Amino acid sequence: MINSTQINTAAMQRFSRLAAKNRLAHAYLLVGPQDSGKTQTALSLAQLVNCESETVKPCGECGPCRKIASGNHPDVHVIGNNEMDSIKIDEIRFLLSRAHLMAYEAKTKVFIIRNIELMTMEAANALLKTLEEPAANTLMVLTTSVPEANLDTIKSRCHIVKFFPSSVNRIAKILMDEGVKSQDAHFLAVYSEGCLGKTRKLIEQEIVAQRRKVLDEMLLNRNNDNFLKDLSGDPQETTQALRLLLSFFRDVLLLKSGMAKTELLHQDFLKEMDRFSGRSFEDLSKIIRQIVQTKELVDEKLNVKMSLSLLREHIWAN
Ligand SMILES: [Zn+2]
C-alpha cells in the first residue's frame, strides 16, 4: 500500500511538471535517509506515468493507480527490501528480461530497485548495461541512503533526486492528526530525525512505552537488577535502551550548555535532567562513554551484563 503522508511532495511536483512536458528521464536515483519516503515516492511516480485520469495525476482511483497501490500491477516491479539482504545478479537479470519484453498493460513499465548499495558487484554491472541501453517505455527508479557506496558509473547515468528529512513540526503535526499525544508526537518526530517512515517503525516497536520504562528503570530505580537481567538477554532491546539513554544524556549536556528546555527531547523528565545537569562534565562523559562501550559490546555479540551494571554505578555515583 502507498502511504500518502510519506510521499515527498517536492519531488512529485517536479516529476509531474516533467511528465506534463513529456520530459521525464528514463532513470532516477532517489537519495535520502532511510525511511524518508523514497519507495513510496517511487510508487507514486509509477502511478503518475500510468494513470488514466484526464485531470489530476496520479488520481489514485483508476485501474492502474489501484493495481500499483496494492502491489498487483504486472508491469511495475519492486526489487530489494529493507532487510539488508544483498541484491543478487538473478534479480537484476529477471529485471533485464522484463525490461525488453512488451508490457502487459502499462503505458510505462516501471522498475523500482531499493537500496542499490546492497547490489553485488555482478548485479551492479548488469544494471549498468540496462542504464546504458534503456528499453523503450521503461522507467527505472533506484533508491539509496548511502550514495557514496554506489558506483559512479551508475550515478552518472541517472538523474539524482535528493530527499531531505521533514521538519520536526510537520511530522509532529501529522502524528497528532492521527491521534498521537502531543508530547509523544514531539519525541517521535525528533527521535526519528524527521523521517516519517521511521516514526511508524518506532511506533510499531512500542518505543513510547519503552522510553518511559528505560528511563524510569535506569534513572529512578537503583535496584534494577531484574530489569538489567532481562535487558541483557535481548541485544535488540539493549541497543534501543542504550540509544534512548544516550539521547537523555545528550539532553542533559544541552541543558547544561544553556539550551532552552523547550528544545529538549525528553520533556517529561525535566526534573531528572536538572538533577544530572548538576553533575560535572567529567562525570557525565563517563556515563556517556560507558553507554557507547556497552553498545560496542552488543555489536560484537558479547555479554553486556557487567557493562550495564557498571553503567548503573556511573549513573548513581555521587
Ligand atoms: Zn490514476
Position 167 scores a pLDDT of 79
Position 85 scores a pLDDT of 73
Number of domains in the chain: 3
Do 49 and 97 belong to one domain? yes
Do 214 and 302 belong to one domain? yes
Share of the chain above pLDDT 70, in %: 98
Please tell me the distance between residue 41's alpha carbon and the centre of ligand 1 in angstroms.
Answer: 15
Alpha-carbon distance 182 to 172, whole Å? 7
- Percentage helix, strand, coil for the chain under 3-state DSSP, each rounded to 5: 60, 10, 35
Position 111 scores a pLDDT of 94
Q: Which domain covers residue 8, as residue numbers?
A: 4-162
pLDDT category of residue 96 using cuts at 50, 70 and 90: confident
Do 32 and 102 belong to one domain? yes
pLDDT in tens, 29-48: 999 888 788 999 999 999 99
Do 179 and 271 belong to one domain? no
Alpha-carbon distance 60 to 2, whole Å? 10
Please tell me the distance between residue 265's alpha carbon and the centre of ligand 1 in angstroms.
Answer: 41
Which CATH number belongs to the domain containing residue 26 in this structure?
3.40.50.300
Position 244 scores a pLDDT of 95
Residue of 105, 6, 20, 113 lying closest to 58 (CA atoms): 20
- Mean pLDDT over 266-279 rounds to 92
For residue 213, CA distances in Å to 209, 229, 267 come to: 6, 14, 15
Residues near ion ligand 1 (CB < 5 Å) are: 51, 53, 58-59, 62, 65
Do 11 and 152 belong to one domain? yes
Position 84 scores a pLDDT of 64
Alpha-carbon distance 84 to 146, whole Å? 13
pLDDT category of residue 309 using cuts at 50, 70 and 90: very high
Do 150 and 30 belong to one domain? yes
* φ, ψ at 119 (rounded to 5°): -75, 140
Please tell me the distance between residue 250's alpha carbon and the centre of ligand 1 in angstroms.
Answer: 47
Angle between helices 196-204 and 168-177 (to 10 degrees): 50
Do 149 and 41 belong to one domain? yes
Alpha-carbon distance 241 to 216, whole Å? 11
Do 72 and 217 belong to one domain? no
Domain end call among 134, 162, 190 = 162
pLDDT category of residue 129 using cuts at 50, 70 and 90: confident
In sequence order, what are the residues at sequence separation of 6 or more whose Cβ sits closer than 8 angstroms to the Cβ of residue 210?
237, 240, 241, 244
Position 134 scores a pLDDT of 83
Do 177 and 155 belong to one domain? no
Position 313 scores a pLDDT of 95
Where are any strands of DSSP class E within the chain?
27-31, 76-79, 109-113, 138-144, 159-162
Please tell me the distance between residue 255's alpha carbon and the centre of ligand 1 in angstroms.
Answer: 51
In sequence order, what are the residues at sequence separation of 6 or more whose Cβ sits closer than 8 angstroms to the Cβ of residue 271?
none
Q: Is the pLDDT of residue 102 over 80?
A: no
Q: Is the pLDDT of residue 90 over 90?
A: no
Alpha-carbon distance 29 to 156, whole Å? 10
Please tell me the distance between residue 68's alpha carbon and the centre of ligand 1 in angstroms.
Answer: 10
Contact 112, 2 (CB under 8 A): no
pLDDT category of residue 4 using cuts at 50, 70 and 90: confident
pLDDT category of residue 82 using cuts at 50, 70 and 90: low
H/E element, 272? helix 270-277
Do 248 and 191 belong to one domain? no
Alpha-carbon distance 101 to 98, whole Å? 5
Q: Kindly report the average pLDDT of the chain as a whole number.
A: 90
Q: Is the pLDDT of residue 296 over 70?
A: yes
Contact 160, 150 (CB under 8 A): no
User: Would you state the torsion angle of the CA atoms of residues 10, 48, 113, 207, taken in this order, to the nearest 10 degrees?
Assistant: 50
- Mean pLDDT over 129-149 rounds to 87
Q: Is the pLDDT of residue 124 over 70?
A: yes
pLDDT in tens, 208-243: 999 999 999 999 999 999 999 999 999 999 999 999
pLDDT category of residue 83 using cuts at 50, 70 and 90: low
Please tell me the distance between residue 20's alpha carbon and the centre of ligand 1 in angstroms.
Answer: 15
Please tell me the distance between residue 136's alpha carbon and the centre of ligand 1 in angstroms.
Answer: 22
Do 228 and 138 belong to one domain? no
All three cell numbers of 95 = 529485471
Position 306 scores a pLDDT of 94
Alpha-carbon distance 146 to 117, whole Å? 7
Identify the residue with better confidence: 87 or 26. 26
Residue of 280, 281, 206, 274 lying closest to 244 (CA atoms): 206
Position 40 scores a pLDDT of 93
Q: Is the pLDDT of residue 1 over 70?
A: no
